[in-house]
Structure 1
């Protein structure tokens, strides 16, 4: 994980990459077309997801997530954006536990395939993870614990998608 700003800055970006052993296209499809199955794929981290406004597969749908971060049950309401060409999902934070700390909180998942044929059991691509944030107060830490959560969530989903294949 890399941080592009210092901890005292009011806004910044955290970035990480996770190797994917399942197809990046399959991973993107899980978020894009079957988000209601994410809790089945990552039961350790995601407890439930509900559509609050719109439809499951629509751009600008508002979803309500219930998840566990560092052993604490939390909620997150977001508006989703999809970029099918880049296989990117952007969750724009609206309400929830993280919004008590951050004025802006966006999570971006980009699923990128490897260009070479790696063979069975080797990584097929990467998930590029980004959290953009703006703190409400100077003493709020960067959302490192949430980047750890997102990273673990992606790893668990990857393992589940590989096992289901």
Structure 2
């Protein structure tokens, strides 16, 4: 096992890529409305919603515990529906020297695909890869999709 890790996955959703990205970048604080059991809140600590350099604090439930992580928005690309968050402090720093979340929502003929990439450096070799964090990202994406599709005519 190495100290550096990278996990990625795709989540097929029914919502449009632009709507999903808008919620995940400019209206992050509404994610807790879509995924109430997983995300307890997202607070803007510095800057503006969806702007590079802004700092947000995610309050979430992971591995059976309420947790919080402070992250900086490192990159936002509206054209490609992507956003990158980098951990600066919080619960993730107990196991990781660095942790980066990259999300891109790719439009398809029907719906979209949310592509997640988690990149991290573990504090030591005995820490397992963060498959549970990747699964949390997948579950949140599905919750957001269901929230965005509420009341739509699609089956």
TM-score range, shorter chain: over 0.9
Give unmatched runs, 5+ long, in structure 1: 1-7, 119-123
What do residues 31-69 of structure 1 show as CA deviations (whole Å, max 9, x unaligned)? 222112111111111001111111223221100010001
Give unmatched runs, 5+ long, in structure 2: none
RMSD: 1.1
Q: Hey, what does 2:116 align to over in structure 1?
A: 129
Q: Hey, what does 1:86 align to over in structure 2?
A: 80
Q: Hey, what does 2:27 align to over in structure 1?
A: 34
For the pair 1:77 / 2:64, whether they are aligned, the reply is no
* Secondary structure in structure 1 of the residue aligned to 2:150: helix
For the pair 1:105 / 2:110, whether they are aligned, the reply is no
TM-score normalised by L of structure 1: 0.87
Q: Specify which of 21, 39, 51 is matched with residue 44 of structure 2.
A: 51
Distance in 1 (alpha carbons) for counterparts of 2:132 and 2:39? 15
Q: Hey, what does 1:14 align to over in structure 2?
A: 7
Runs of 4+ in 1 over 6 A off after TM superposition: none
For the pair 1:65 / 2:58, whether they are aligned, the reply is yes
Distance in 1 (alpha carbons) for counterparts of 2:89 and 2:123? 13
